[in-house]
Amino acid sequence: MSVFQKLPIALDVANLSPVVTREDVAAKRGDVARALSDLRSGTCPGSDFLGWLDPGRILTCRELADLKDCAESLREQTDVLLVIGIGGSYLGARAVIEALKPVTTPAHEVVYAGHNISSQYIHSLRERLAGKRVAINVISKSGTTTEPAIAFRVMKDLAAEGCIVATTDAEKGALLDLAKSEGYKRFVVPCDIGGRYSVLSAVGLLPIAYAGIDIDELRRGAAECADLCTDPDPLSNPAFYYAAVRDILYRRGIAVELFASFEPRLHYLAEWWKQLFGESQGKDGKGLFPASVDFTTDLHSMGQYIQDGRRILMETFVIAEKGEPATTIPEQSDDSDQLNYLAGKKLDYVNNVAYQATAAAHRDGGVPNMTVTLERIDAYPLGALIYFFEIACAVSGLMLEVNPFDQPGVVAYKNVMFELLGKPGHGEAGIAVTKPDYVTF
């Protein structure tokens, strides 16, 4: 009998006990209900940014059809899509594409720029794209965000004729003005959706569609998860159970939440998750610090600290129940590596045993953990998972009494950088840059 019922996603909470029990979570019913009520009624802080709540309505049917047509046209004309953006402007799309792209090199590759200011990265990327048919999707609400604006200046000459698409504000901004003057195809960054919640808008869906991923299934998973997130009882909703557990452990002194996966292609899902929770809840001196580990790789580096270091950690695993390639471990006549006891077993079985052993060992070592289980890593379950984390982040942020939809701390480094670079119109930032004080050999 399958563990899955209405959605191909479930939450295993066995390894939270005895630190967090179902009774503890049940006691959070009132807090969850109040947070969800404020969210749904639009009376919460940041209520101007709730457009993600109904993922089926982010795009109209006409907008969705136009987006699909654009993606297909770009696929016909080019070999590579260069996505230029930073933070939520690229992380959601990259998370989905890296999770779902074919194991072999795809016919239509997606690459990224604008998320750093590394001269080596940009130089290498230009060399890599030389001679290829390149499309560019530049994503920025304003068009003046430093990192993507620099990347677009430096890279736009690589684009094939007529293959630049701007995803930007509908009414104003430097990128909108440029797109109009240059005749770029345009899509809209919704004014009521913050970047970290924007993966199911045109911001994320155009690159995902270009990569050949079924965006209808992705949206269907998110929409069906949204439909199931009206009942605030955490005992009957895994997203709210997860939110309640985070709040309970935070108030008991846990400082760090680890996103842990045993599948390398989920690495960028963890990067998106870190932005979602870090930018939404890390304010007013509050919030769990979101970190991530890639197992089993990091069991041979970070594993020691997780098992025996300071007891400030909780852990959230994300695993798939099935759907992985059937690779069998062969027998070896001399058994010199002492692995014949695994001969005939599938790699995904061994990987799953490694997960079970890790979760048990970490629980025994004082790290309470829970596991989000997907039926398989595919568009429909991944869409549901995206919404699962989005709604849990919003609800747990409101339980923490912060605004989950602003990011005031992001501007601090920008103001100092603009002052140092001499950007017109920017005076003193009020933050001193210290002179170097070297200790040398």
Rounded to whole angstroms, how far apart are CA atoms 234 and 143?
A: 41
Nearest 10 degrees: Cα torsion 427, 431, 433, 437: 160
Residue with tokens 């070297």: 438
Task: Could you please state the CATH topology (level 3) that the domain comprising 9-45+220-399 is classified under.
Answer: Rossmann fold (3.40.50)
pLDDT for 54 equals: 97
For 164, other C-beta atoms within 10 Å of its C-beta total 24
Superfamily of domain covering 51-215:
Glucose-6-phosphate isomerase like protein; domain 1 (3.40.50.10490)
Count of residues in the chain: 441
Phi-psi category of residue 354: left, alpha or beta, with phi > 0 → left and psi -120 to 50 → alpha: alpha
For 113, other C-beta atoms within 10 Å of its C-beta total 26
Rounded to whole angstroms, how far apart are CA atoms 308 and 295?
A: 17
Rounded to whole angstroms, how far apart are CA atoms 280 and 404?
A: 4
Residues 6+ apart with CB under 8 A from 9: 225, 238, 372, 373, 374, 375, 381, 384, 385, 388
CB 217 within 8 A of CB 379: yes
Sequential pLDDT tens for the chain (441 residues) = 578 889 999 999 999 999 999 999 999 999 999 999 999 999 999 999 999 999 999 999 999 999 999 999 999 999 999 999 999 999 999 999 999 987 655 678 999 999 999 999 999 999 999 999 999 999 999 988 999 999 999 999 999 999 999 999 999 999 999 999 999 999 999 999 999 999 999 999 999 999 999 999 999 999 999 999 999 999 999 999 999 999 999 999 999 999 999 999 999 999 999 999 999 999 999 999 999 999 999 999 999 999 999 999 999 999 999 988 899 999 999 999 999 999 999 999 999 999 999 999 999 999 999 999 999 999 999 999 999 999 999 999 999 999 999 988 777 777 777 777 777 776 676 777 888 888 889
- What residues are labeled active site? 279, 300, 414
pLDDT for 427 equals: 67
Q: Biggest alpha carbon distance in the chain?
A: 74
User: Fold match between 9-45+220-399 and 51-215?
Assistant: yes
Domain layout of the chain by residue ranges: 9-45+220-399, 51-215
pLDDT for 104 equals: 56
Rounded to whole angstroms, how far apart are CA atoms 88 and 101?
A: 20
Phi-psi category of residue 187: left, alpha or beta, with phi > 0 → left and psi -120 to 50 → alpha: beta
Residues 6+ apart with CB under 8 A from 355: 262, 295, 317, 319, 371
**Ramachandran angles phi, psi of 200, nearest 5°:** -95, 10
Q: Which helix (H) or strand (E) holds 71?
A: helix 61-77
Structure tokens at 307: 């098992």
CB 15 within 8 A of CB 245: no
CB 293 within 8 A of CB 257: no
Residue with tokens 């039926």: 375
pLDDT for 263 equals: 96
Residue with tokens 């077993």: 345
For the chain, the straight-line distance linking the first and the last C-alpha, in angstroms and rounded, comes to: 65
Report the SS3 class of residue 10. Answer: strand
CB 97 within 8 A of CB 110: yes
The alpha carbon dihedral of 223, 228, 232, 233 has a sign of negative
Rounded to whole angstroms, how far apart are CA atoms 31 and 53?
A: 19
pLDDT for 419 equals: 75
- The number of CA neighbours under 13 Å toward the Cβ of 108 is 21
